[in-house]
Structure 1
């Protein structure tokens, strides 16, 4: 998914949001229940962009024009190195309707969880401003 990768690498979160389907389902690496909706998912992704340091995509897996893609990345949260993968599914119109993130190792996932928990109030406020999204 070239457009998503380009938007993330350019730190253009408005462009990332524009690629999301209205009913996108985001599955976090550190929360059991998925999040639903463009506004909430975009707010979460903005927080991730604030939390991750030295973020870079390293490999993309998926056929050009296909509906399923995996984008492998590395980043840092504080002093913890993280390796991970964004799994994207596109709907019939080419928008992202499923985004699942996996990260490793456990110490990196724990650092990510703590950093994202510190962003919770801001995420909730941004999602309320932009529209309605719900967990579960």
Structure 2
């Protein structure tokens, strides 16, 4: 999905969030249970943007007019290089209703899990604040 890729590459996380359906399902590469909802997905993506270094998309796969897209990326978490893929599905309104991320190698996934786990409370707080603005 071109808009998602451009927003991520521009580090425009507000634009990324606008592309998410309210009921988006986010499947993490390091957590068993998927997360549902725009608020938690946005909080996770904002934290990932802090964790990933040297992030860049290297290839897009999919039919430009279709509903399923794959964006292959490389990044670094600490001293671990990661290769991964964002799998996107869009709904009838053109919003992302499924986002699945896969990464390799195992040592990179473990580094990502540790870095994101250290931010768990911050992520949860950010999601609650977005769901219940003051």
* TM-score, reference length from structure 2: 0.97
Shift of 1:64: 0.8
Higher RCO by CA contacts (8 Å cutoff, separation 6 or greater)? 1
Q: How does 1:1-136 map to 2 (within 5 A)?
A: 1-131=1-131
Unaligned runs of 5+ in 1: none
Q: How many residues align?
A: 132
SS in structure 1 of the partner of residue 63 of structure 2: coil
Distance 2:48 2:62 in 1: 23
Poorly superposed stretches of 4+, deviation over 3 Å: none
Distance 2:65 2:49 in 1: 26
Unaligned runs of 5+ in 2: none
Q: Provide the alpha-carbon RMSD of the alignment.
A: 0.7
Shift of 1:105: 0.2
SS in structure 2 of the partner of residue 58 of structure 1: strand
